[in-house]
Structure 1
Amino acid sequence: MKVVLATHNPHKIAEFQQILAMTRPDLEVVGYDGPEPVEDGVTFAENALLKARAAAAHTGLAAMADDSGICVDVLGGSPGIFSAYWAGQKKDAQANLDLLLDQLADIADPHRAAQFVSTIALVTPEGTEHTVAGVWPGRLAREAAGGGGFGYDPIFIPDGQDGPERSVGEFSDEEKQSQSHRARAFQALIPLLQVL
C-alpha cells in the first residue's frame, strides 16, 4: 500500500523509508510533488496537519506529514516550530546550527537540555485525521561532531546512551532510525496505520 509523505525534503523521505522498512515493510512511502501549503500553524501538530491535508487532497492517497524541530529548555522551547528558519528564511541548516551554538555559548553544560520533537499527522482522502508525537530528550553539545544525519543532529547528544556519549551526527542510520523522535512518533502511529 502507498502512503504519500507530505514533504519535499529528501532527508525526511529517506528517514521515513528506513523507519518503515524496520516496522511496516508492507507500506510504501512515496514523495510528494504537489504545492506546499503555507505553514502558519503555531504548533507542530497544526503544521503537520496542514501539510498532510494538502497532500491527501492533491494525490487522493492517505498522507503523512511530519513537523519537527529542536526545543531548547533555556530558550523557552525555541527554536521549536521555527527550527528550519532559525537563521532566516533561506532554510540554511549550517547557519541555523551555528546561530544556536552561538546563542548558547555562555550556557553551562547542566543547562543545555533540549529535545527533538516530531509530530506526525495522518490524513485520509475521506478526511479522517490523527496526530501523534515523539520526543527524544538530550542536551546540546558545545560543538558539532560527526558527519551523519542532518540539521541539528551534529550538536544533539541523546540521553541514555551506552558507552561514550556521541552526537546524533555520529550515529549510524540504523541507530538513529531506531531511537529518533520520528521513530518514536511513528511507533505511536502504527496502530492507526492498521486501519488503512
Structure 2
Amino acid sequence: MQIVSATHGHTLILFTSYWLMERVFYGLKEQLSDYPLFLMGRGRLDVISSFRRSGNGVLFASDSAGEGIDLAGDILSSLIVVKLPFPVPDPVMEYQRNQYEDFDLYRRDIIIPEMLIKLRQWFGRGIRREQDTAVFSILDSRASLRGRYRAEILNTLPTMPVTDRLMDVADFIIRKKTDSYFMDKDREEE
C-alpha cells in the first residue's frame, strides 16, 4: 500500500463489506508491518481508541466508521475509500424503485445522491477541524479519470487539488505536517 507509506500511516481505510475488509487486512498485514494495524469488526468501537493512541496506525474499518467518529488532528491524515458507498437495497429502496419506470432515472434520482451523501460524510472524517489536513483516495475505478461517477463526485466534494501521482501525495504530507508527525510512536515515548 504505497499510499499508506506516502502518508506515514495515519490512515483510515473504509470498506463497504466486512468480507473484503478482512481479506485485504490479512493480505496486507505483512506489507504494512511498519505501522500498527487495527481491524474494526462489528461492534468493535474500542479499536478506535487504540488507533488514536498508536500515533501512526492504519485502521481497517467498515462504512459505519465513516460516520460519527471524531479523529481530528494528525491521527487521521489519509482516508482511503476502497469502493464507492452505494446504498444497500432494502424494502424502502425497493418501494422507491417501484415508483420509477426507468431504472436510469431511479439511479440518477435516488442511488447516486445517496452514495454521494455517504461519501461526503466519509470525507468529513479527515477534516474535522479548520487546521486539519488529509489526503483522500478513492480506489474504485468508477471514480477514476474515465470513471462513470467522477464528475458527480468532484462536484459534491469540497474543492481540493486532485492527482493520480503518489509523489504529489508524499509532497503534500511533507509540506503540511510538522516534524512530530513523522516520529515513531516508540521514539516519542523514550
What TM-score results when the alignment is normalised by the length of structure 1?
A: 0.32
**Which has the larger share of strand?**
1
Bigger relative contact order (CA 8 A; separation at least 6): 2
Flag the structure with larger Rg. 2
**Which has the larger share of helix?**
2
